[in-house]
A and B are shown apart, each in its own frame.
Chain A
Amino acid sequence: MQKLWILVVMSGLVGLYLFSCSTGKMHPSGIDFSKVPFEHLSDYGFFKGEQNKLMPSPGVLPYRPASELFSDHAEKSRFVWMPEGASASILDTGYHHLAFPDKSILIKNFYYSQSENEKQRIIETRLLIKMEGEWNAFAYLWNDKQTEAKYEIVGATIPVTFTETYGTKHSIEYIQPNKNQCKSCHNQGEKLVPIGPKVRNLNFAFDYGNGEMKNQLTKWREAGYLESFDQADLESCMVDYEDKTSSLGLRSKAYLDINCAHCHSPKGPASSSGLFLTYEEKDPTRWGVYKTPVAAGFGAGSFTYGIQPGKADSSIFIHRMKSEQVGVMMPEIGRAMVHKEGVELISEWINSMD
């Protein structure tokens, strides 16, 4: 009896040793997908060493879409990982979508590099993991010590003070969405889908560090993450709306695409509005030009059309982008603040229309 007891203790200790040993050496290739979601972010092994340095493990590849979502000035670092031997393929080039293999993981960290005491503060890390043909969303909330992030389903409200790029200091309540709110944006035809990683968002040169500037699709191909393709067949890249050398029209379309089109598209949750803001949309009525609202309620303010050409201040677009009132503001989730630069861009665009 006593022997058995000792055996149990011994095996427990061995287990403990193995576990503590493995935390530092975890790598996504060791993920048991039947146990996902893990309780802690570090359990996946995406980052080596101190977790809050976000130093990717081998095979965890950083990426960036050409234009980025505004979410209360949160900065993002994104990574992709796929299992050995599996790679994404490019679907028909018209819609620029990537077909990801099972066990693909997209990792997105939300942080402020100039938070309290001018220190970096990571708020949350969101994962999209493809299993048995379906994407799943899991969000992890970082602790105050910035040593670890824990799986969270009901969301959270986190007071944050930070200084943005242009030097302005803000104190806001950062809202981490609840699990089912992920699909408020990540939704096409009621299926959960990634938003950023599309061919036309990735088809540009990215700085991988150590002097390596390389087209992201080429880099993915080299890493084995993308099946072979002919660059000449691909759509050119969407512009970066912050790049003032691009045309006002394309910058505006890019801004609306990355901030609005996940809902405002024919298969998105806001399809019921008939307002479609994808980069590819060619019909001005569909973008909102002289289009009356449908279910905007008081979100329409005292205005008649989504876009009243030449009159940004009389356009529902600007009214809703400038609002911080729940029920009026657009996007309706993902921001608590006004994106001043975004309002200026879209205003300039609307004012330039005949």
Chain B
Amino acid sequence: MFRIIFLALILAGTLVGCKNSSDPSSIATKDLKIGSPDQVKKIIEQFILAEDSTVIELPTGHFEFETQLIIDNLQGLTIKGKGMDKTVLSFKGLKAGGEGVKIVGNDILLEDFSVYDAPGDGIKTQNCNGITFRRINATWTNGDKSKNGTYALYPVQCTNVLIEESHASHSRDAGIYVGQSENIIVRNCEAYGNVAGIEIENCSNAEVYDNKVYDNAGGILVFNLPNLPKADGARTRVYNNEVLENNHKNFAIPLNESPNGNTVTMIPPGSGIILLAAKEVEIFGNKILDNKTVGVAVANYHITGFPSEAPDWSPFSSDISIHDNEYKRPLAPPDLSKDLGKLIAAKNAHGIGKTQDIIYDGFWDKSKGAELSSNPMNICIQEKGIEDLHFTLYDLYGGEDDIKAFSDYNPFVCDYTVQTDVEELKTL
């Protein structure tokens, strides 16, 4: 009898082990046949010899590359696999270069394949006008997440970006990261097991909707960082997403190391949606459930402790609208591994160790108004049953020894709507 239980335990352990090592994302690919060296070489050649309007068809199989796959400034190119569960491009053995796949060009379509184990970013697209990711899965299969790469799907400096029905998981920074781009839709995607699920950074005119974002340290981030060529971003609508149980540990840096200069290293596990130096953001209709530290955080760049002056950029979050979302606080207490988590756990307006639904760090641009009670940064919150939510407004100007926390949300009850225009992308 004992022996049978013992065997069953071993078997269970093996099964779990298998699942973790071969199928890290929820896309099953472990039965795929390893591609031959000739097949691998042919795929590399297809990328190099591609011309405008080429359709690169990737076959069924698991293909391992030692070199990067790069598309160099082409128009109307399509790269099409047989399905996220049928075509895997693996960069575990990559010998030089950052990203596994790098794409430059206009009107590019990427469809139906998976990218595994790039040492840097999974798929980076740069300087593209018109880039679609459709049913693309990018992930890392290392058991040890400290070896994983930075971004899974990484469009940067692009215009007209559509990411849909895609999966991004286990990245050491953001799963879906859209940077310094304009006109963006991220929809019907799943992001899980990342430090950050979806991040919109220094972007303008973006919609993030109908996504399922779960088991990350932070669910959805809208950030503006200083000193970038696209200096500031504005106009993002985040709606109808499921932002669930984003309580994963933050593995952007090794355990016991202090945060480095990457802002994402500061994200406390248990964060649903975080805005940092964000401009014109509307958050509505989301299910923000079981995130143990905070549902929605409105933060200013000052909270990072980094220099907060840069040309053509403001460290303040402004023109924010949070309304008609659904919240549920889990039983678990807030994170204690990061400073922001400790702040929320130790000091809030509802009691030590209480999860917060909405917080505002309370820094404001004093040239816009003498009192925060006049809501100079136009932070608008209209939630049903707000009286039962945990809302905390901080005053951090007094430094660590004089932190104040207030529960009064009344200064922030106002209407505000963000206008985005991405209709053309919706029909792609």
Interfacial residues, chain A to chain B (CB-CB below 8 A)? 153-155, 157, 173, 175, 177-181, 183-184, 190, 266, 269, 271-274, 285-286, 290-306, 316, 325-327, 332-334, 336
Contacts and interface: CB of A to CB of B under 8 A. Distances in A.
A153 B46 CA distance: 11
Interface stretch (B182-190, B223-231, B348-356): B223-231
B268 interface: no
B398 interface: no
B98 interface: yes
B227 A285 contact: yes
A303 B260 contact: yes
A292 B263 contact: yes
Contact of B67 (A181, A292, A297): A181
B261 interface: yes
B306 A304 contact: yes
Contacts of B41: 154
Interface stretch (B70-78, B269-277, B414-422): B70-78
Interface string B154-167: 10110000000000
Contacts of A286: 227
B48 A297 contact: no
Q: How large is the interface on B (under 10, 10 to 19, 20 to 34, 35 or more residues)?
A: 35 or more
B48 A178 contact: yes
Contacts of A326: 94-98, 119-120
Most B CB contacts (10 A, CB to CB) among A297, A304, A334 go to A297
Interface in B90-144: 94-98, 102, 104, 118-121, 126-127
- Say what secondary structure dominates the interface of chain A: loop
9 contacts: A154-B44, A181-B70, A183-B73, A271-B157, A272-B229, A273-B228, A295-B150, A298-B253, A333-B96
B48 A154 contact: yes
Contacts of B179: 272, 294-295
Contacts of B408: none
Which 4 pairs across A and B sit closest by C-beta, in order of nearness?
A: A297-B150, A327-B119, A180-B70, A292-B261
Given A190-B104, A285-B310, A297-B262, 9 more contacts: A157-B95, A180-B71, A180-B72, A183-B72, A184-B102, A297-B121, A299-B120, A304-B306, A332-B97
A296 B149 CA distance: 10
B67 A154 contact: yes
B337 interface: no
B173 A297 contact: yes
A295 B261 contact: no
Contacts of B66: 157
B400 interface: no
B323 interface: no
Contacts of B172: 297-298
Contacts of A325: 119
A173 B95 contact: yes
Contacts of A298: 146, 150, 172, 252-253
B227 A274 contact: yes
A292 to B, nearest CB: 4
Contact of B227 (A184, A291, A300, A327): A291
Nearest to B49: A153
B180 interface: yes
Contacts of A190: 73, 104, 127
Contacts of B173: 295, 297
A155 B67 contact: yes
Contacts of B71: 180
